[in-house]
Amino acid sequence: MNEKIYVPPIKIQGIKTKLVNFISDAICLNEDTKWYEPFMGSGVVGLNLAPTNAVFSDTNPYVIEFYNEIKRGKITSGRVREYLEKEGKLLEERDDKHYYYIRDRFNEKHDSLDFLFLNRSCFNGMIRFNRDYKFNVPYGHKPKRFAKAYVTKIVNQVKYLEKIFPENNWEFKCQSFEQTIKEATEGDFIYCDPPYIGRHVDYYDSWDEVQEMKLRDELFASGAKFMLSTWEENQYRRNKYIETVWDGCYKLNIEHFYHIGAKEKNRNAMIEALLLNYDPKKVFDTLD
| pLDDT digits 0-9 by tens, 131-145 | 888 999 999 999 999
Top mean pLDDT of 19-28, 101-110, 195-204 is at 101-110
Gap between the Cα atoms of 54 and 79, Å rounded: 26
Q: How does DSSP classify residue 54? A: E
Determine the pLDDT at residue 202. 43
**Residues in contact with 114: Cβ distance below 8 Å, sequence separation at least 6, in sequence order:** 102, 105, 106
For residues 102-110, give the mean pLDDT.
Answer: 98
Residue 31 lies in a domain: yes
**C-beta separation of 183 from 55 below 8 A:** yes
Note whether 193 and 114 are same-domain residues.
Answer: no
Nearest to 17 by CA among 196, 265, 281, 258: 258
Q: Inform me whether the pLDDT recorded for 168 exceeds 90.
A: yes
**C-beta separation of 56 from 37 below 8 A:** yes
Q: How many CA atoms lie within 13 A of 22 on its CB side?
A: 17
Amino acid in position 178: E
Determine the pLDDT at residue 125. 86
Q: Inform me whether the pLDDT recorded for 260 exceeds 80.
A: no
pLDDT in tens, 58-100: 999 999 999 999 999 999 999 999 999 999 999 999 999 999 9
Note whether 92 and 152 are same-domain residues.
Answer: yes
Note whether 27 and 79 are same-domain residues.
Answer: no
For residues 184-207, give the mean pLDDT.
Answer: 77
Return the SS3 of 37: strand
Residue 9 lies in a domain: no
Q: Inform me whether the pLDDT recorded for 242 exceeds 80.
A: yes
Decide which of 98, 132, 161 is a domain's last residue.
161
* Counted domains in the chain: 2
More confident residue, 73 or 241: 73
Residue 168 lies in a domain: no
Exposed (0-12), middle (13-18) or buried (19+): which is 132, by Cβ within 10 Å?
exposed
Measure the N-to-C terminal CA separation of the chain; round to a whole number of Å: 13
Residue 156 lies in a domain: yes
Residue 269's CATH number = 3.40.50.150
Determine the pLDDT at residue 268. 65
Determine the pLDDT at residue 199. 57
Residue 200 lies in a domain: yes
The 169-174 sheet, strands edge to edge: 169-174, 53-58, 34-37, 189-192, 225-233, 269-276, 250-257
Q: How does DSSP classify residue 144? A: T
Residue 102's CATH number = 1.10.1020.10
Decide which of 135, 161, 187 is a domain's last residue.
161
Note whether 155 and 186 are same-domain residues.
Answer: no
Note whether 180 and 274 are same-domain residues.
Answer: yes
Note whether 214 and 279 are same-domain residues.
Answer: yes
Amino acid in position 97: K
Which band of pLDDT confidence, cut at 50, 70 and 90, is reported for residue 237? Answer: confident
Residue 3 lies in a domain: no
Q: Inform me whether the pLDDT recorded for 188 exceeds 80.
A: yes
Instruction: Tell me the angle at which helices 77-94 and 148-164 cross, rounded to the nearest 10 degrees.
Output: 160
Which band of pLDDT confidence, cut at 50, 70 and 90, is reported for residue 282? Answer: confident
**C-beta separation of 234 from 247 below 8 A:** no
Note whether 111 and 203 are same-domain residues.
Answer: no
Angle at 1 between CA 19 and CA 195, to 5 degrees: 25
Residue 96 lies in a domain: yes
Note whether 156 and 87 are same-domain residues.
Answer: yes
Structural domain for 201, as ranges: 17-59+175-287
More confident residue, 110 or 265: 110
More confident residue, 149 or 254: 149
Decide which of 126, 161, 196 is a domain's last residue.
161
Q: Inform me whether the pLDDT recorded for 163 exceeds 60.
A: yes
Note whether 79 and 55 are same-domain residues.
Answer: no
